[in-house]
Amino acid sequence: MRTSQTHKMVGRVARSSVVTMCCLFVALLPLAAAGQSESKKKPEQYSATAFGQAGMFAGKSVSLNIYITDYSSNQEVEDLAATLKAKGSDALLKAVRKMKEKGRVSTTGRVGWRIGVVRQHPTDKGRRIVMFSDRPISFYEAGAATRSKDYEFGMLVLDVNDNGEGEGLLYGACKVKFTQDDQLEVENFGQAPARLAAVKLWK
């Protein structure tokens, strides 16, 4: 399968490497290690600060707690990719919601966002971790039928060194699909993802 190097624009959405990141989710890159669910037995907890880069959240920041309890197997993500390709985004959403929780992202004092898919692969400096799942839809979004309601997934990407320190990006709302020429397309809602700084693994 070929992968698009850009993603579809929404309003003033900036082009980025989001599609490449999502490839890790569907486990179609040979760099993804086999049996990822066995590669990390010990739960991981990271802290990070998210900085809004555009729109109403520009210049604002919030502290995040990022928990990983397991990693998704190749078979799990291959099944999800097949579901997306054969049945579309709605079927993918249902499948992700049925998956066992493998992580969680939260702010202090909040329950947070349940994560169904967690992947990792080695990089020159350490690891890239990709967390993908359905996202919470607010009562306002659901009631007002806002455009953002159609962007039902969220994605978080961490680039960390061997000590678990680094940076990342948070895509708060996006949607995914396969195009007619068999390319994976990711569409991010908003002008830019939130930047994650001061990422740290708590041992």
Q: What is the pLDDT of residues 135-166, one digit of tens each?
A: 875 433 344 445 567 888 998 999 999 999 99
DSSP E strands: which ranges in the chain? 2-3, 44-51, 61-68, 103-106, 113-115, 117-122, 126-134, 153-161, 166-178, 183-188, 194-202
Question: pLDDT value at position 50?
Answer: 94
| Residue 145 included in any domain | yes
Residue 61 β-bridge partners = 51
| Residue 178 included in any domain | yes
Residue 140, Cβ neighbours under 10 Å: how many? 10
| Residue 36 included in any domain | no
Range(s) of the domain holding residue 97: 2-29+42-202
Question: pLDDT value at position 11?
Answer: 31
| pTM attached to this predicted model | 0.79
| Residue 14 included in any domain | yes
Domains: count for the chain:
1
| Residue 34 included in any domain | no
Amino acid at 70: D
| Residue 7 included in any domain | yes
Tell me how far apart the alpha carbons of residues 182 and 65 are, in angstroms, rounded to a whole number: 36
Percent of the chain past pLDDT 70, that is, above it, reads 72
| Residue 99 included in any domain | yes
Computed over every residue of the chain, the mean pLDDT equals: 77
Question: pLDDT value at position 18?
Answer: 42
| Residue 37 included in any domain | no
Question: pLDDT value at position 53?
Answer: 84
